[in-house]
Structure 1
Amino acid sequence: MHIQISQDFRKKTKAAVSSIVIFVIVYVLIFLFTIALALACFGGGIWLIAAKPMFLTLMLGAGLAGTGIFVFFFVIKFLFKKHLNDRSYLTEITRADEPELFKMIDEIVREAETNFPKKVYLSNDVNASVFYDSSFWSMFFPIQKNLTIGVGLINTTTKQELKAILSHEFGHFSQRSMKVGSYVYNVNQIIFNLVNDDESYRNSVEKFASFSGYFSVFASLAIFITSKIQWVLAKMYSYVNIRHMALSREMEFHADEVAANIAGSISLEESLLRLELANNSYNNVLNFYEARISKNQSSRNIYREQFFVMNFLAEQSELETKYNLPYVKLAESGLFNKSKLNIENQWASHPSTEDRVAKLRQLNIIKDVDSQPAKNLFKDFERTEEKLTAKLFANVKYEHGRTDLEFETFKTEFETQYQKDSFDKIFNNYYDNKNPDPEAQENSAAKDILFETLFDNEKVELVYTLIALESDKKTIEAIASKEFVLKTFDYDGRKYKAAEAKKLIPEIDQSIMEIKNLIVRNDSDIYNYFLKVAETQNRKQEFVNLYQSFSDYDKVYEEKYKLYIDLVNSTAFMSARTPFEQIRHNFVTLKSLEDQLKQEIRFYLQNPSLISEFSDKDLKDLKDYIEKEHIYFRNEEYFEANLQLLMNAINTLPYLLHRKYFLLKKDVLSLMKDLEENREREMIS
């Protein structure tokens, strides 16, 4: 297979290669400088010793020679560095284990005209990747790649979609023209090693310095010189890395084209659009069990539960189904992204899903589709799922052993938890990222309005447009202040130079103010609509009181949260080197804040709905903390157990504050839902 390289690919390849050439020139100059320095230091050391042989000159000569050697070694240490991938979380499979899967890989390798992977592994996550252990010498000697396939990916794709995703991975190595990316990557790793990965080097220098006080002076000199070399290389790293990332984006498009030629455009598109939902579902299951570690609960098959959660969430979002999998449309995947800002992110190695889908649709390559589940490629996929689930939970420490939750129990508890932690669909996501307006007031002149118009797509889009505008403003302010360095960007379909960013801010501020006014007006309509509905049902006072409780808490929330910030700042000294007298003084100062903390926690512990998720141990520790006076420091020593109680209490405070806010908000929305449903029933009857 041969795919024509795009002009963008050629352009960015040239830019990447030119950056490497410039780096090589700079590096050679540094290399020659360090050789000259090493020879000068070594020669100077020998001359010093020979001129006047004695202990002092021997130590000074040896120290001077050591400085030259260490500086020279610094610029060549990458030659001995090998990047090894952690494989402890992977499970290797062979052709004998899964012949059908290997048959598919054979087909991909043949069509992509690349080599079969050295080893094939299964991982837990929702992803696929090709990796290899690399070093400087791998630029000159060929090394074999390894393939990793996530079980969470197999579980949520068709055979054709899995083939498309794996074809994309092999597409990175399918043509000679792609190998330039490998060289750019390796050069990038070399510079990164020189700039950042110097712990072992510094340890060697410190060991040299520890031999003698004389040597410590020369060790400091070596560190000073290498720090200046690092500064130069850091600049080179930014220069090369920007061009490496830009090339990586083009390589992603190229690999997509390879995948489309092998498995078709549609299969890759549909799998890409479902990927976020599949990944969120997997993480939802992980979070579910993370909260149950204290209850010693685990899963027998986390992937069966992932599949259930994926379809449950799809149903909640009213997504269509295709091939017994959620069918996510492009418009639905970006439903809440209303940003007008378009930056070709120089630090991103992957283009956006929207950009990739657009390219795939331009290709529009049609292939025969195998819509069977990808899991059918395995001899016994359920056994594989259970094996990897057991491996995943083997890393979790349980106090009293673990008990696998039955699947039906998981379904019930997950749905209950979801309903408990989310807002009803009746509000059409309007309140998912905003709160009821605490300043809303009764307006006797308010016009009659329909419930549907309060929460229609137009009103929901206002909320997410405001979020996008505020985010865009922050980014453009960063561009204007040069925190974010780039030459040009697009905003609302027009190209701007970075120097013009500041002029855009007033325009965005105006848009933000206009959108805010529309939202405030709609929130006022919502409040007055439900006031009228509540009045017709003789529940007006109930609605007013509940809404007022929410508003009152909203007004004091920031002040209560400030207590948490003050506590964090007042305990920061414990993680820094602090004189003993200062430590004692700090704990005296902390006392008044701690009294407020105990008062707040004591109040919240009286509310069962706020502490329903706490384990018995968590509750015991909190009660122990608030009921006793604890000593944190005595005889120049911290009391770790008591400090742990204090830090747990401090970190619990924001959870309690947020949880109360959420429950008050949910109470208001639940009452609003109840009022609307009663109104609809009355209309029908």
Structure 2
Amino acid sequence: MSISQIQPSLEFKSQAKKAIFSIVFFAIAYALLLTFAVGLTVLCIYAGIYLVTALPGLVTLALGIGVASSGLFILMFLLKFIFKSHTIDRSHLVEINRKDEPELFSMIEEIVTEVGTDFPKKVYLSGDVNASVFYDSSFWSMFFPIRKNLQIGLGLINTISKIELKAILAHEFGHFSQKTMKLGSYVYNVNHVIYNLLYDNDSYDNLIQKWANISSYFSIFVVVAVKIIAAIQWCLRKLYDVVNRNYLGLSREMEFQADEIAAYITGYKPLANALLRMSLSEHAFNSVLSFYDERVEQNVKTNNIYREHLYVVQLLANRSNIPQTNGLPLVPLEELNRYNKSKLVIEDQWSSHPSTEDRVEKLKLTGIEFNNEEFIPAMNIFKNSSFIEETMTNKIFSNVKYPSEPSLIDINEFKTQFQNDFYSNSFPEIFNGYYDSKSPKRYNSIPLDSLENTVPIESLFSDYNVGLIYKEIAIRNDIEVLKQINDKSLKIKTFDYDGKKYSRKEVKSLLPKIQNDLKSLNDKIELNDKAIYLFFNKLSKEQNTTSHLISLYEEFEIFDKEFDTKYELYTQLSGLLNFTYETLPFEKILENFQHIKPIEEKLKNAIKDLLTSKHYKEEITPELKEKLELYLSKNWEYFGREKYLDYNLTVLFTALNNYAYLLSRGYFLIKKNLLTYQLDLVTRSMIT
């Protein structure tokens, strides 16, 4: 079977028909709105002329002009998108050509020939972990052919093999060959039109406001026009939902078809392996960026972020016991599902891509396997990979504003600092993530004779028991979602739970069953928590340190009880300050700031407690302390002379966010202190 024989699935054809229908529906609806506006404009102009000629005078002249202008403003509103120009920002991209990178372009040429599509108009490199097809779309591109561009992320190339790169490019060129890509251009332009009419109205609003200010007679009809425009915008929002929901359904089917095309070129495994590694690679890349974000004030940067990116990928893979071949992790499908234990499936109508799990399962169903399991790094495809890596690194850092000329750190210094950061922000590996989302528990009522029957530590923190924790979290979340479906705050008619389809009416009968499952699961977790407590209690008795272990538990329990109350202060004040992002009358703004004054006093007292607490001593840097003390130094005013005092607001928000950070950090550290001591008990027991 050849690629040309791949036939769209019935679901693909169905979604394509829906997408076409929705675009036609939008065109008809917009034409009707435009016809209405033209008719209304003609009627308003006629009424204005009639009013002036029937009752000549200054008042009727003003009223006649006002009537005529209301129709014109409505028509202008519906046509203003035509005069709006827009450009695509490519400042983060680097264009490459055949002369510079012959091997990459030869690979592209080979894939283009096999897929039977056109060579891309341009090929770009970006810095991130991604690959995509895009085109220069404009209003006229809906009527004339357009050539597509290819964008490849260097962060992606950095963590895949050559054969996986070929599979990913084959997927992207699979999109090139899809006739339905033309629908994407239509949808893009429809969305551009709707966005312009719904949100890009500053110039238009200023124009009609100036017109209304000329005369009170004009303002009457401006209000009328605005009311009619609001009704038109309501219609446009509904049209947006129809167009995008149907297109996104097609987009998901297009992903499956492009995957199938890639499988016919490289076999299914290379693309499946790359997809499974993608999340790990993205997480590693973002971790490296965060590492340097935290060091901007220290004037530290790198000249090659991609060596560090690859190192972090390997570090995270080792941490999770993921096997590697030639430095590239082979992420199993089970690893993606380790933390996602939900049995509730609701079709995401607003997702343009199917899940990685669904894509991998569909790829496996093709059954196409080639003998090409080589793991030559894809970065070797470049003539001078170091030059490319350094060029993209400089582009990534080009917009970062350093206090002075930054210094470079080498890869060894990065490894040392990153590892220190990584392990200082992680719980001991022996706990296998068991406490990442739960707290240690102490049980005073357990009989002491139970100490003789403790369970081995490997069993206490096994993958099975860690899985119980995430199942419990998933079931609690599922219950909350089902409650929202039941009370109609989440407008879902049908859903799948544990492989069976249900309607909204069946939620009431389903919930008690799930709640029983939750109780049963909690009983299992509690049984394991008791075994854990017994295990460490026994070790502490053998080492005569029980009192210290108990004191660490008590210290954590006190902090744990107080944490929610203290953090609620941050949540409450953040919510009350949301009005600063809205347009409100001055009196209302002043009233709102008066309302938060008592809560601010509580915040200041809480910050003072943090500054003097032993738990945060090492976490409060001189810079952080200076910012908090600045906020405490006086009673700040945040609004005056009919405008916000931006500097003062920055002082408030900085203090509020630092307060939340310190609270969360303190919670982590006091939990880690207990867990580290338990690790020490295990270590000492092994020595003796």
TM-score w.r.t. structure 2 length? 0.92
CA distance in 2: counterparts of 1:572 and 1:483, whole angstroms: 23
* Range 484-493 or range 138-147, more displaced: 484-493
Match of residue 167 from structure 1 = 170
* Range 584-593 or range 482-491, more displaced: 584-593
Match of residue 423 from structure 2 = 419
Match of residue 312 from structure 1 = 315
Relative distance call for 1:389 and 1:60 in structure 2 (3 A) is same
Relative distance call for 1:538 and 1:350 in structure 2 (3 A) is same
| Contact 2:563/2:663 (8 A) holds in 1 | yes
CA distance in 2: counterparts of 1:384 and 1:552, whole angstroms: 53
| Contact 1:249/1:350 (8 A) holds in 2 | yes
Match of residue 520 from structure 2 = 514
Question: What does residue range 602-681 of structure 1 map to in structure 2 within 5 Å?
Answer: 602-604=611-613, 607-611=616-620, 614=621, 616-626=622-632, 628-632=633-637, 641-681=647-687
Residues 1:214 and 2:220 aligned together: no
Match of residue 453 from structure 1 = 459
Aligned residue for 1:69, secondary structure, equals: helix
- 1:365 Cα offset (Å): 2.2
Relative distance call for 1:206 and 1:635 in structure 2 (3 A) is closer
Aligned residue for 2:125, secondary structure, equals: strand
Relative distance call for 1:604 and 1:281 in structure 2 (3 A) is same
Identity of aligned residues (%): 44
Deviations 1:334-386, CA, capped at 9 Å, x for gaps: 22221111222111110011110111111122345363211111111111111
| Contact 1:440/1:527 (8 A) holds in 2 | no
Deviations 1:558-589, CA, capped at 9 Å, x for gaps: 12223323444565666654439747855764
CA distance in 1: counterparts of 2:536 and 2:199, whole angstroms: 59
Match of residue 150 from structure 2 = 147
Match of residue 15 from structure 1 = 18
Residues 1:504 and 2:510 aligned together: yes
CA distance in 1: counterparts of 2:498 and 2:207, whole angstroms: 54
CA distance in 2: counterparts of 1:271 and 1:508, whole angstroms: 36
Question: What does residue range 536-615 of structure 1 map to in structure 2 within 5 Å?
Answer: 536-568=542-574, 577-579=585-587, 582=591, 585-586=594-595, 589=598, 592-604=601-613, 607-611=616-620, 614=621
CA distance in 1: counterparts of 2:244 and 2:297, whole angstroms: 44
- 1:511 Cα offset (Å): 1.6
For the aligned residue pairs, the C-alpha RMSD in angstroms reads 2.5
- 1:466 Cα offset (Å): 0.7
Match of residue 497 from structure 2 = 491
Relative distance call for 1:20 and 1:177 in structure 2 (3 A) is closer
Q: For residue 680 of structure 1, what is the amino acid of its counterpart?
A: M
| Contact 1:443/1:528 (8 A) holds in 2 | no
CA distance in 1: counterparts of 2:500 and 2:572, whole angstroms: 44
| Contact 1:63/1:215 (8 A) holds in 2 | yes
CA distance in 1: counterparts of 2:400 and 2:497, whole angstroms: 47
- 1:24 Cα offset (Å): 3.3
Deviations 1:111-156, CA, capped at 9 Å, x for gaps: 2222222222111100011112323321111122221111101111
Aligned residue for 1:601, secondary structure, equals: helix
Q: For residue 675 of structure 1, what is the amino acid of its counterpart?
A: L
Match of residue 321 from structure 1 = 324
CA distance in 2: counterparts of 1:52 and 1:182, whole angstroms: 52
| Contact 2:248/2:350 (8 A) holds in 1 | yes
TM-score w.r.t. structure 1 length? 0.93
CA distance in 1: counterparts of 2:496 and 2:50, whole angstroms: 64
Aligned residue for 1:294, secondary structure, equals: coil
Aligned residue for 2:501, secondary structure, equals: strand
CA distance in 1: counterparts of 2:500 and 2:185, whole angstroms: 35
Match of residue 371 from structure 1 = 375
Deviations 1:279-337, CA, capped at 9 Å, x for gaps: 11100100111111121111111111000000111111111112431111111222222
Deviations 1:592-637, CA, capped at 9 Å, x for gaps: 32541342233248843222xx3x43332323444x3345369858
Aligned residue for 1:489, secondary structure, equals: strand
Unmatched 5+ stretches in structure 1:
none
Q: For residue 655 of structure 1, what is the amino acid of its counterpart?
A: Y
| Contact 1:127/1:149 (8 A) holds in 2 | yes
Question: What does residue range 123-522 of structure 1 map to in structure 2 within 5 Å?
Answer: 123-367=126-370, 369=372, 371-437=375-441, 442-446=446-450, 447-522=453-528
* Range 195-204 or range 59-68, more displaced: 195-204
| Contact 1:273/1:353 (8 A) holds in 2 | yes
CA distance in 2: counterparts of 1:566 and 1:24, whole angstroms: 46
Relative distance call for 1:438 and 1:58 in structure 2 (3 A) is farther
CA distance in 1: counterparts of 2:604 and 2:179, whole angstroms: 68
- 1:424 Cα offset (Å): 1.8
CA distance in 2: counterparts of 1:584 and 1:353, whole angstroms: 47
CA distance in 1: counterparts of 2:19 and 2:578, whole angstroms: 44
Relative distance call for 1:55 and 1:38 in structure 2 (3 A) is same
Unmatched 5+ stretches in structure 2:
none
CA distance in 1: counterparts of 2:382 and 2:256, whole angstroms: 30
CA distance in 1: counterparts of 2:100 and 2:640, whole angstroms: 63
Deviations 1:649-682, CA, capped at 9 Å, x for gaps: 2221111111111111101111111111222333
- 1:436 Cα offset (Å): 0.9
CA distance in 2: counterparts of 1:19 and 1:595, whole angstroms: 55
CA distance in 2: counterparts of 1:31 and 1:569, whole angstroms: 41
Match of residue 34 from structure 1 = 37
Relative distance call for 1:586 and 1:329 in structure 2 (3 A) is closer
Relative distance call for 1:578 and 1:190 in structure 2 (3 A) is closer
Residues 1:48 and 2:51 aligned together: yes
CA distance in 2: counterparts of 1:460 and 1:584, whole angstroms: 46
Relative distance call for 1:479 and 1:56 in structure 2 (3 A) is same
Q: For residue 387 of structure 1, what is the amino acid of its counterpart?
A: T
- 1:89 Cα offset (Å): 1.3
Relative distance call for 1:453 and 1:631 in structure 2 (3 A) is closer
* Range 395-404 or range 628-637, more displaced: 628-637
User: 60, 73, 76: which one pairs with 1:70?
Assistant: 73
Relative distance call for 1:640 and 1:190 in structure 2 (3 A) is closer
| Contact 1:63/1:218 (8 A) holds in 2 | yes
Deviations 1:183-211, CA, capped at 9 Å, x for gaps: 44544544444444444433433343344
CA distance in 1: counterparts of 2:492 and 2:187, whole angstroms: 21
Q: For residue 618 of structure 2, what is the amino acid of its counterpart?
A: S
User: How many residues matched?
Assistant: 678
* Range 375-384 or range 66-75, more displaced: 66-75
| Contact 1:478/1:484 (8 A) holds in 2 | yes
CA distance in 1: counterparts of 2:205 and 2:655, whole angstroms: 39
CA distance in 2: counterparts of 1:357 and 1:220, whole angstroms: 55
| Contact 1:438/1:554 (8 A) holds in 2 | no
CA distance in 1: counterparts of 2:579 and 2:20, whole angstroms: 48
